[in-house]
Amino acid sequence: MKSVSIIYNKDIIKAVFSDFKQLTKVGLSISVVFTSIVGYLLGAEQTNYITVLSLAVGGYLMVGASNAFNQVIEKDIDALMIRTKNRPLPSGRMKPNVALTIATIFTITGIAILYSINPKCALFGAISIFLYTSAYTPLKAITPLAVFVGAIPGAIPFMLGWVAATGKFGVEAGFLFMIQFFWQFPHFWAIGWLQFEEYNKAGLHMLPMDKKDKGAIAQIIFYTCVMILVSIAPVLKVTGSLQIHIITAIIVALLGLFMLYFAIKLYKTEQNTDARKLMLASVFYITVLPIVYVIDKFLH
């Protein structure tokens, strides 16, 4: 009986931990932490490992809080979609008050940790949580413009790292923000294309003009082009101390053209398979580009 009880307790702990990971979207949070740390490495003259650790923990808590608040607000909407109905709240495995408590603790702790780096980091962290939960989340049920609003908190991590390293928000941080800002449109509209029927059923507006047509893909292509131009701009020495070598700019441009290829292919076929390839190409882009930037800095 004792061994059965131990196994049972282990299963409960495993289930609770799994729900916690789903509530805070651990995978997404880790990707945000990665981008923030890269932004820090780009801005730092010398690496302070305590600051890096604070940025990682504070950034994780910031994103975890946003996701938890989001799932509390969208509990009933999540219950309508196959992709989200098994989340802890719509499935009934977690009470909204528990999720709200976790979100609140994460918010307070995360902002306090970011404040210990510098006040600007805390400010941007607070803005990110506020816009994501109070503007982006409710707007999804009202207008496709929600994606534009959501792109603001989504673009903060890369910039946050630079601000953590320098204590300044200047042209360099602005360009890091813009890279991630414009990247989000092809990325989220590709997801919006794939999940259009599900989102539509739940009353969410996640594609431009609320239509799954060539007009939406034309906007994907446009924003992909803008993203590429912004990403290679540091080669022109118009971005302050954030500069890249011509070879790095070519590599970045090729990464962008890889994304653009799938966007154009989607325009021709309008097939979900090509939307998925575009989405995966966008994830590849935002993972590799920061690494390329950092390698460029340390090879200079």
Largest CA distance in the chain: 71
In this structure, the answer to whether residues 21 and 155 fall within a common structural domain is: yes
Q: Say what percent of the chain tops pLDDT 70.
A: 96
In this structure, the answer to whether residues 109 and 178 fall within a common structural domain is: no
CA separation for the pair 155, 9 (Å, rounded): 41
In this structure, the answer to whether residues 156 and 33 fall within a common structural domain is: yes
pLDDT digits (tens, 9 = 90+) for 89-109: 898 888 999 999 999 999 999
In this structure, the answer to whether residues 278 and 219 fall within a common structural domain is: yes
Quick check: 5 pLDDT over 70? no
What pLDDT is attached to residue 3?
54
In this structure, the answer to whether residues 89 and 212 fall within a common structural domain is: no
Query: Can you tell me the mean pLDDT for 250-255?
Result: 97
What pLDDT is attached to residue 106?
95
Residue 147 domain boundaries? 1-168
Residues 6 or more apart in contact with residue 263 via CB below 8 angstroms: 186, 217, 220, 221, 224, 278
Nearest to 287 by CA among 65, 28, 21: 28
Residue ending a domain, choose from 106, 133, 168: 168
Residue 8 pLDDT class (50, 70, 90 cuts): low
pLDDT digits (tens, 9 = 90+) for 199-231: 988 888 889 888 899 999 999 999 999 999 999
Residue 7 pLDDT class (50, 70, 90 cuts): low
Number of separate domains in the chain: 2
Residue ending a domain, choose from 168, 199, 227: 168
Find out whether 139 and 146 touch, Cβ atoms under 8 Å: yes
Could you tell me how far CA 250 lies from the centroid of its own chain? 25
Residue entry with tokens 């503007």: 135
Quick check: 83 pLDDT over 60? yes
What pLDDT is attached to residue 219?
97
Q: What is the 3-state secondary structure (H, E, C) of 13-35?
A: HHHHHHHHHHHHCHHHHHHHHHH
Quick check: 9 pLDDT over 80? no
In this structure, the answer to whether residues 194 and 238 fall within a common structural domain is: yes
pLDDT digits (tens, 9 = 90+) for 132-143: 999 998 999 899
171-194 helix and 246-269 helix, angle to the nearest 10 degrees: 20
What pLDDT is attached to residue 21?
87
Residue ending a domain, choose from 107, 139, 168: 168
In this structure, the answer to whether residues 138 and 4 fall within a common structural domain is: yes
3-state secondary structure (DSSP) of residue 96: helix
CA separation for the pair 95, 184 (Å, rounded): 31
Mean pLDDT check: name the lowest of 20-29, 146-155, 158-167: 20-29
Residue 2 pLDDT class (50, 70, 90 cuts): low
C-alpha dist (Å) from residue 186 to 10, 191, 283: 42, 9, 10
Mean pLDDT over each residue of the chain, to the nearest integer: 91
- CATH number for the domain spanning 32: value is 1.10.357.140
In this structure, the answer to whether residues 228 and 276 fall within a common structural domain is: yes
In this structure, the answer to whether residues 126 and 27 fall within a common structural domain is: yes
Residue 299 pLDDT class (50, 70, 90 cuts): confident
Quick check: 300 pLDDT over 80? no
Higher pLDDT, 186 or 78: 186
Nearest to 37 by CA among 129, 158, 177, 169: 158
In this structure, the answer to whether residues 244 and 295 fall within a common structural domain is: yes
pLDDT digits (tens, 9 = 90+) for 39-54: 999 999 889 999 999 9
Query: Can you tell me the mean pLDDT for 257-276?
Result: 97
